[in-house]
Structure 1
């Protein structure tokens, strides 16, 4: 098999892996940000490239090939930036809308100019620069955002954003490399390698395994949701809570202060580091800003047989993310727990909240 064919297959397969992983993520979370990224990676998987279109028997007219090749890059960059906005802020603000409107207007003007005879007089590097710049910058920005807010550091998951960052940087150089035949194949090979690196991290990110508890526990608590103002109240009311249940703990405390057993998963909310700290019991450090992935991890744990979720880190999550985001996090946990007939125990110092915030908490979580 020729080198060009291997490079083409590598790029083709890795594009579809990224699309399928992001699609799986959207199906699991139902979040707008992942939906937008799903469409971006779908368009990228069907890019205007010969190694993608030739096997499908599709030919692009030579006279429109260059302009047709720009359009996917502009569309993908728009969807990626829009998706990042939703992943970070959960909704678009007026400045985001104006920014997107300006971007679309500039793209239209550039494509309009590309349809004129003056466009053909420009060097290829200048003709290709805007679309390559938009695509490359959007991939780099997505990679930075994923690494900072979504994936867990010091794990294989980090390959997901790093592959995108490297791919984005390579695309920034495409207008120059395309005019150097000696480097074209090497650039396509690197693009395939970077996509494979990203795909490996994406698969690890999407299918991170949650080991089931060793023993199946029946639900022993009489109601689904409990709100306490102090952890000592929990110890007094349920002295055997951590001995008789399979518990997922989300805490700011030193994890070793709990009565630890094998059927525990502890997510220690900290900025000191990330990743697996201990295997027995299972203790994971996770950044307070990664509440989306934390919800997903808890949901997976409930499906595996954990029956109690214990949270005493709300104040810290609120400090790092704001009350609105932290409160939505609690509501998501509540929905997942109820759907799996589990129990949620929430410890919040209500005196530390403003009156409006306290009323919202008490309305959704009745004080014990």
Structure 2
């Protein structure tokens, strides 16, 4: 092996080791990444990374012993791996894309920014209290909000635009935090469904964290509650953190 090939092989081995370490570090952050993307997308991206890694390994081995087949095979693996990663990256972008709030009614609301609970279930009634505010709904039933022109995040297990699985509370938090700013009110209309899928304690932690984020941005959140679906203890815990919405 002449000096040129030795340098080339050394450089490719260093690059391969660096690539391997980078992939291992990213994979060690699996739990954090899964807070923002679903498992299917993560598995697809991981498969693409593995295929790309195998292609790079084959490229290194080609400098030690190469054939006509291996010269082509490494490029094929790298191309397939990159294509798989690209598809996964588009899915990631779609999943973490923020939904922008929108002002639905003109006017001036007397409801100051903060965290509220309401027993009012009518979207139009809630909007009448929030004139001049930008609105974003998180809901199990998006049609009434869509009919009123309210941007929404749909709590659903069905893959769809603006949909978030009910168990993906970190992703839901990320979407909301990325969307709200001053003068925004989030209407959370799907509490019972979230509790059904996560349990009350997990949902309560989600709500209190969201309340803190919203407070930092001087925004507001209104949680729509059907009292009969909660125990007295659960309702009292909720009212300890959230005020009743003034009518």
TM-score (norm 2): 0.68
| Correspondent of 1:271 among 148, 157, 163 | 157
- Taking the aligned partners of 1:334 and 1:239, their CA distance within structure 2 comes to 20
Kindly indicate whether residue 185 of structure 2 is the aligned counterpart of residue 299 of structure 1: no
Structure 2 alignment gaps of length 5 or more: 1-6, 63-69
| Correspondent of 1:85 among 31, 34, 38 | 31
Kindly indicate whether residue 136 of structure 2 is the aligned counterpart of residue 240 of structure 1: no
Kindly indicate whether residue 243 of structure 2 is the aligned counterpart of residue 352 of structure 1: no
- Taking the aligned partners of 1:61 and 1:268, their CA distance within structure 2 comes to 49
- What corresponds to 2:80 in structure 1? 190
- Taking the aligned partners of 1:247 and 1:227, their CA distance within structure 2 comes to 16
Aligned length: 231
> CA offset at residue 271 of structure 1?
2.1
After superposition, residues 317-356 of structure 1 pair within 5 angstroms as 317-354=194-231
Instruction: Please state which structure has a larger fraction of its residues in helix.
Output: 1
- What corresponds to 2:66 in structure 1? none
C-alpha contact 1:164 1:194 (8 A) present in aligned 2: no
C-alpha contact 2:55 2:74 (8 A) present in aligned 1: no
- Taking the aligned partners of 2:242 and 2:196, their CA distance within structure 1 comes to 20
C-alpha contact 1:213 1:246 (8 A) present in aligned 2: yes
| Correspondent of 1:213 among 85, 102, 112 | 102
> CA offset at residue 172 of structure 1?
6.0
> CA offset at residue 316 of structure 1?
0.9
> CA offset at residue 209 of structure 1?
5.3
Kindly indicate whether residue 126 of structure 2 is the aligned counterpart of residue 249 of structure 1: no
Structure 1 alignment gaps of length 5 or more: 1-52, 91-144, 150-157, 276-283
After superposition, residues 135-150 of structure 1 pair within 5 angstroms as 146-148=37-39
- Taking the aligned partners of 1:82 and 1:301, their CA distance within structure 2 comes to 28
| Correspondent of 2:165 among 265, 281, 287 | 287
> CA offset at residue 221 of structure 1?
0.7
By relative contact order (CA 8 Å, sep 6+), the higher-ranking structure is: 2
- After superposition, the Cα gap between the structure-2 partners of 1:205 and 1:312, relative to the gap in structure 1 and judged at 3 Å, is closer
- What corresponds to 2:118 in structure 1? 228
> CA offset at residue 240 of structure 1?
1.3
- Taking the aligned partners of 1:176 and 1:239, their CA distance within structure 2 comes to 60
Kindly indicate whether residue 202 of structure 2 is the aligned counterpart of residue 312 of structure 1: no
> CA offset at residue 347 of structure 1?
1.8
> CA offset at residue 70 of structure 1?
5.3
- What corresponds to 2:71 in structure 1? 181
> CA offset at residue 213 of structure 1?
2.9
- Taking the aligned partners of 1:161 and 1:244, their CA distance within structure 2 comes to 43
Kindly indicate whether residue 14 of structure 2 is the aligned counterpart of residue 73 of structure 1: no
C-alpha contact 1:228 1:234 (8 A) present in aligned 2: no
The answer to which of 315-324 and 348-357 deviates more is 348-357
- Taking the aligned partners of 1:195 and 1:258, their CA distance within structure 2 comes to 35
Kindly indicate whether residue 50 of structure 2 is the aligned counterpart of residue 168 of structure 1: yes
- Taking the aligned partners of 1:366 and 1:267, their CA distance within structure 2 comes to 23
